[in-house]
Amino acid sequence: MSTATQIPFVEYLRLEPTPHLVANECTSCGARYFDRRNACAACFATDFTPVDIPTEGVVRSFSIVTFAAPGVEVPFVAAVIDCGGTSVRANIINCPPDPEHVSLGMNVRLATTVVGTDSAGVEAVNYGFEPA
């Protein structure tokens, strides 16, 4: 069992009690965002409330990226996942990156992966989606 301290790779990923994503939802119009907000782009209101995003979804679009900027490991599958009506950007992981194994409409679920460990021994944990 690992005793390493873990932190999420991005702020909108929560590791406890089980890994899931949290969006900022506009309290006026319900628009959802994953980034730090100044106001709602849809209705300009400024109040947001955190909402948990379903951890299961459907692949709405994908690309298998085989040529990327220096430092980016290839190949990887970039995708948009429809998680119960909220679109999420993610990689498809735990799945061979080829068109025989990744398809439009495929059912997937959230999974986590350790990105790396820093000098203090803290692990950064990222999310992806794997075939369900």
Partner 1 sequence: MSRSDDIWILGIHMTKFGKHPNLDVVDLGAEAIQGALADAGVTMADIGILAAGNLLGSGSIAQQLQKQVGQTGIPAYNVSNACATGATALRTAIMAVKAGEVDMGLAVGVEKLAGAGLLGAGGRAKADNDEWERNGRFGAVGPVDGRIGTESMPGVFAQIGMEYGHKYGGADFELFAKISEKNHAHSTLNPLAAYNKAMSLEQIMNDVMIAYPNTRPMCSANCDGAAAAVVINGEKLKTLSLEQQRRAVKVSASILTSDPWQEACQVLPDVNTLTRSAARQAYEQAGVGPQDLNLVELHDCFATAELVHYDNLMLCEEGGAVDFFESGAAHRDGRLPVNVSGGLQSKGHPISATGIANIWEVCQHVRGEARDRQIEGAKVGLAHVIGLASACGVHILERSAA
| Beta carbon of residue 17, minimum distance to partner 1 (angstroms, whole number) | 21
Per-residue CA distances from 44 to 22, 23, 28, 37 (Å) = 21, 17, 9, 11
C-beta of 74 vs 132, nearer to partner 1: 74
Q: Which is nearer to partner 1, 13 or 18 (CB)?
A: 13
Alpha carbon distance 96, 58 (integer Å): 17
For the bound state, the minimum distance from the C-beta of residue 88 to partner 1, rounded and expressed in Å, comes to 7
Q: 30-37: long-range contacts (C-beta < 8 A, 24 or more apart)?
A: 32/86, 34/10, 34/88, 36/11
Longest Cα separation, the chain: 47
Supply the minimum distance, in Å, between the C-beta of residue 1 and partner 1.
Answer: 22
Q: What is the CA radius of gyration of the chain?
A: 16
Positions that interact with partner 1 (CB under 8 A): 7, 9-12, 31-36, 41-42, 59-74, 76, 78-80, 85-91, 99, 104-105, 115-116, 118-120, 122, 124, 126-127
CB of 102 to partner 1, least distance (A): 9
Q: Cβ closer to partner 1: 48 or 127? A: 127
